[in-house]
């Protein structure tokens, strides 16, 4: 599984192998000495600010395919911003963000949707839809990306599989309001893995537990 940090400031990217050398880069620690042939994710001179607050003044970061990677930093230094820029929920002011050879910053919404089939994210709060059941929350990505490829029964099986993996079998009809904080986080994780992504982003996964 991913490398888990304390709730005060840890974000991670999950892969199939462990190990990453780290060096100081701005307000976060980032990988170094990365073989470019194996690079899956690369940030090059990325700049981002919100009004007068500079988040990144030239972020450089490379992550190899199959690598479990942890980003550490205090509150408000830009860990969540980095993850959201990777999947196009936030836009970099300048610089390059590449995923598997594709330039994220140049993509339209249709292309970003295809990337989000390959990269899933567990948000800090779980980010469940309160008006939807657990089943509908976990199936959300399946409905968005695979509606024409999966039957209803296949979706039901996939949701049950994902909930089983996080230790929550049989809760499909419950609502987020009926769940504890830990259960909400696990439902959020089930939603992330239900689409069977290549990469899972964890944004402070132990916060609130």
Helices 181-194 + 152-165 axis angle, to 10: 130
* Whether residue 171 has pLDDT greater than 50: yes
d(CA 96, CA 103): 7
Tell me the residue range of the domain where 148 lies: 119-209
* Whether residue 1 has pLDDT greater than 80: no
pLDDT at 174: 95
Q: Report the 10 Å Cβ neighbour count for 170.
A: 10
Q: How confident is the model at residue 24 (pLDDT cuts 50, 70, 90)?
A: very low
* Whether residue 156 has pLDDT greater than 50: yes
pLDDT at 4: 29
Range from 41-45, 132-136, 150-154, 204-208 carrying the lowest mean pLDDT: 204-208
Q: Which residue has the higher pLDDT, 33 or 71?
A: 71
Residue ending a domain, among 47, 81, 116, is: 116
- My answer on whether 124 and 103 are in the same domain is no
Mean pLDDT of 91-120: 92
What single DSSP character describes residue 14?
A: E
Residue ending a domain, among 116, 150, 179, is: 116
Whether residue 3 lies inside any domain: the answer is: no
Mean pLDDT of 59-76: 88
* Whether residue 136 has pLDDT greater than 60: yes
* Whether residue 59 has pLDDT greater than 90: yes
Whether residue 1 lies inside any domain: the answer is: no
pLDDT at 168: 95
Average pLDDT, the chain: 82
pLDDT at 95: 97
For the chain, the domain total comes to 2
Whether residue 42 lies inside any domain: the answer is: yes
Whether residue 7 lies inside any domain: the answer is: no
d(CA 150, CA 116): 17
Q: How confident is the model at residue 12 (pLDDT cuts 50, 70, 90)?
A: low
Place of tokens 């701005």: 26
The dihedrals phi and psi of 67, each to the nearest 5 degrees, come to: -105, 135
Residue ending a domain, among 116, 145, 170, is: 116
pTM of the model: 0.74
- My answer on whether 159 and 186 are in the same domain is yes
Q: How confident is the model at residue 178 (pLDDT cuts 50, 70, 90)?
A: very high
DSSP H helices in 124-171: 134-138, 140-146, 152-165
């Amino acid at each position: 599984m991913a490398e888990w940090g304390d709730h005060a400031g840890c974000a991670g990217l999950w892969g199939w192998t462990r190990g990453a050398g780290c060096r100081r880069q701005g307000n976060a620690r980032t990988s170094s000495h990365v073989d470019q042939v194996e690079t899956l994710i690369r940030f090059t001179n990325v700049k981002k600010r919100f009004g007068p607050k500079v988040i990144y003044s030239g972020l450089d970061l490379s992550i190899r395919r199959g690598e479990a990677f942890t980003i550490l930093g205090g509150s408000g230094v830009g860990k969540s911003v980095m993850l959201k820029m990777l999947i196009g929920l936030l836009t970099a002011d300048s610089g390059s963000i590449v995923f598997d050879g594709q330039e994220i910053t140049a993509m339209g919404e249709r292309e970003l949707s295809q990337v989000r089939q390959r990269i899933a994210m567990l948000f800090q709060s779980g980010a469940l839809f309160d008006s939807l059941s657990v089943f509908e929350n976990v199936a959300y990505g399946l409905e968005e990306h695979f509606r024409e490829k999966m039957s209803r029964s296949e979706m039901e099986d996939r949701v049950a599989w994902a909930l089983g993996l996080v230790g929550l079998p049989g809760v499909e009809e419950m609502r987020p309001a009926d769940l504890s904080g830990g259960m909400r986080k696990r439902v959020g994780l089930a939603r992330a893995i239900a689409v069977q992504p290549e990469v899972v982003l964890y944004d402070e996964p132990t916060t609130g537990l």
